[in-house]
Amino acid sequence: MNVHFSPTSRTKGTVLGIFAGALLTSAAWHGLAAQTSMSASAAPAGSTPPTHVASGARESYADVVDTVLPSVVTVRVEARAHVSPTQFPPADDNFFGHLFGNQPRQGSRGVPQMPRLPRQRALGSGVIVSNDGYILTNNHVVDGAEEVNVDLADGRALTARIIGTDKPSDLALLKVDGSTFKPIAVGNSDAVKVGDVVLAVGNPLNVGQTVTMGIISAKGRSSGVGDGSYEDFLQTDAPINHGNSGGALVNTRGELVGINSQILSESGGNIGIGFAIPSNMAKRVMDGLRTTGRVARAQLGVTIQRVTPEIGSSLGMKDVRGAIISSVSAGSAAERGGLKQGDVILTFNGSLVGDTNALRNQVAETKPGSAVDVGILRDGQEKHVSIKLDEVGREQTARGGDVPEGRPVDGALGVAVAPTAKGLVVESVDPDGRAADAGIRTGDMILEANRHAVKSIDELKSALHTASNVPTLLLISRDGSQTYVTVKPAAKAQG
C-alpha cells in the first residue's frame, strides 16, 4: 500500500509546537523552583518541606520487549505490477506516436512491444518460529511475490524462500538460510482471556520496529474481509497499522499468541480495532506447510447458518443455540452419516456449538477421516449421529431448475411467485410486504415453508395459515446455495 506522508511544513509546525511547549514548561518549572526555594527559606524551623520525588518503582514491559524484538522481522516484497489491457494502447494503436512524433519500440521481428511494467513493492512483518530460519507471516503480504527479502533486528538482510501459503487462514511460511536465529516462544492462544494485556510488534508504515500495547478486546471474531474461509481472530486495541501485517501479538510473558493480520478502519489507519490469527491456528497451519506444503482440513459437506431467535421460535426451541443445516451436499460425509436439511447441530464431538464460525473451525481442525459424534435437533427431538469426515476438496453447489412461465401472486406474503418442479420462484416482491422485510428477493426459489416442501401456491398459503401466530420458516435457494429466512406473522386486524 502507498504511504502518504503529511506535508513537511505541517510536520515541522507540529515539531516546533511541541518544542515551544517544552520551553514554556521549562520556564514554568524554573519559576516554580524559585518560588519553592523562597518558600522553603521562609518556612518555620523544623518543618518538613513538600516531597515531589517519585518512589522509584517502575512498571514496564522492557524485559518482554527485549526478549521478543530479535524474533520479529520486516518482510519486503517485490512483484511485477498487474496491468489491464486498457492501461496501454493495443499494438497497432499509434496514437501516442502521432501525437509526440515518435514510434513505438519495435521488437526483434518488428512487432511493437508493450512498455516494461513497473515493479511493485510491499511491506509487512514476520515472526521467526524456529532455530533454522522458518518465518511466519501473512499470505497477503507475499501474495504474487517474485522476490522476498527479510530484515532482521540484528541488521542482517536475507533473501527468503516461500515454503508454502494458505489463503483460507491468510498465513504463509518463509525460510531464510543462516544461523543464530532467535525464535519466539509460541503460547497457547486458547488460554488467552478478554482483558489480557498484549503487545503488538512489527514495522508499521516502514518507520522501523515498533511496539504498541493494548488488551484482548474479544475472541472468536470473524471480520468477513479477504478470503474469510477460516477466521477465529483475536481482537485487540493495541495500535496496528499497515506494515504490522504478519507481525507478533505477544502476552506479558513474551509468548506469541497471535499473528497480526487485519484492521477495521474507514480511514485506513488504526482506530483501535485490530485482528490477529490465534497462535494455535497458526501453529497447525505452519506444521502442515512445513511437512507437506499444504494444509489438510476436514469437512462435513453442509451449508449452515446461525439459529436466530426467529428461527428458534419457528422450530419450537426453548434455548436459541447451534447452527441449522440449510443444505447437504450430495455424496458428502454429512449425507452418508444421515444429516438432513433443517437439522440443528447442537454439539460437535462433545463441544457445544456456539456459532457457525466456531463450528466451521472445529470441523476444519479435525483430522480428515476421523469419526466424530454430532448432536442434532430434528423434529423437536435431540439425537446423535456418527460421521466420518471427508477432506476439503472442490466446492459442491446446488443449482435450481428452469423457471416456467406464469405469475401467480401470494398477497399474504407480498410476493409474486411461479411454480416449478422444485419450488416456487419469486418473480416480484412487494417492497412494503413481509417478504421484503425478511430479505426475500426477486429470483429466489422458495423450497420449503415450516419444514414442508412447497411446489404450489396452495401449499404455501396453507403453511402460512398454519403458522399464523409464529414466524414462518422459509427455505430458499439463491445463487446456487440454500438458506433459511423467517417471515414475521401477519399483523392482526384491530377490532
493 within a domain of the structure (yes/no): no
322 within a domain of the structure (yes/no): yes
Based on the domain organization, do 226 and 309 belong to the same domain? no
Pairing of strands 351-352, 381-388: unpaired
Based on the domain organization, do 319 and 383 belong to the same domain? yes
Based on the domain organization, do 341 and 322 belong to the same domain? yes
- Mapped onto helix, strand or coil, the DSSP state of residue 316 is coil
151 within a domain of the structure (yes/no): no
What CA dihedral angle connects 373, 377, 381 and 383, to 10 degrees? -10
Half-sphere exposure of 165 (CA within 13 A, CB side): 13
Based on the domain organization, do 278 and 198 belong to the same domain? yes
CA 492 to chain centre: 43
Based on the domain organization, do 303 and 206 belong to the same domain? no
Q: What is the DSSP letter of 241?
A: -
Spatial separation of the C-alpha atoms in residues 261 and 280, rounded to whole Å: 15
419 within a domain of the structure (yes/no): yes
CA-to-CA separations, 392 to 172, 230, 299, 337, 344, in angstroms, rounded:
19, 12, 5, 17, 22
Nearest to 238 by CA among 259, 264, 212: 212
317 within a domain of the structure (yes/no): yes
Per residue in 80-95, pLDDT (tens digit) is: 655 433 333 333 333 3
Name the stretches of the chain with pLDDT < 70.
1-58, 80-119, 224-229, 393-412, 465-469, 490-495
Based on the domain organization, do 281 and 302 belong to the same domain? no
CATH number at residue 463: 2.30.42.10
Based on the domain organization, do 364 and 422 belong to the same domain? no
The domain boundary, picked from 291, 306, 339, lies at: 291
Buried b (16+ CB within 10 A) or exposed e, 88-102: eeeeeeeeeeeeeee
Cell 527468503 found at: 160
| pLDDT given at position 466 | 65
Based on the domain organization, do 278 and 343 belong to the same domain? no
Based on the domain organization, do 218 and 276 belong to the same domain? yes
Determine which helix (DSSP H) or strand (DSSP E) holds 29, and give its type and residue range: helix 8-42
Asked about 140 being catalytic, the answer comes back as yes
| pLDDT given at position 406 | 36
Q: Which domain holds residue 245?
A: 185-291
Catalytic-labelled residue, pool 140, 166, 261, 326: 140
Catalytic-labelled residue, pool 71, 125, 169, 245: 245
Given a contact cutoff of 8 angstroms between Cβ atoms, the answer to whether 348 and 354 are in contact is no
462 within a domain of the structure (yes/no): yes
CATH number at residue 191: 2.40.10.10
| pLDDT given at position 16 | 32
Based on the domain organization, do 211 and 276 belong to the same domain? yes
Catalytic-labelled residue, pool 125, 166, 169, 170: 170
Given a contact cutoff of 8 angstroms between Cβ atoms, the answer to whether 205 and 273 are in contact is no
Asked about 332 being catalytic, the answer comes back as no
- How many other C-beta atoms can be found within 10 angstroms of the C-beta atom of residue 193? 8
Given a contact cutoff of 8 angstroms between Cβ atoms, the answer to whether 396 and 327 are in contact is no
| pLDDT given at position 435 | 82
* CB contact set of 9 (below 8 Å; sequence gap of 6+): none
Q: What is the DSSP letter of 205?
A: G
Give the cell for residue 257: 499468541
Based on the domain organization, do 333 and 356 belong to the same domain? yes
Q: Dump the DSSP string for 95-163.
A: HHHHHHT--PPB-TTSPBPPPPPPEEEEEEEEEE-STT-EEEE-HHHHTT-SEEEEE-TTS-EEEEEEE
The domain boundary, picked from 241, 269, 291, lies at: 291
342 within a domain of the structure (yes/no): yes
The domain boundary, picked from 256, 274, 291, lies at: 291
414 within a domain of the structure (yes/no): yes
Based on the domain organization, do 284 and 196 belong to the same domain? yes
Asked about 93 being catalytic, the answer comes back as no
Q: What long-range pairs does 2-9 form, CB within 8 A, spacing at least 24? A: 3/205, 3/206, 3/242
Spatial separation of the C-alpha atoms in residues 359 and 262, rounded to whole Å: 22
- pTM of the entire structure? 0.63
Total count of domains within the chain = 3
Spatial separation of the C-alpha atoms in residues 400 and 241, rounded to whole Å: 44
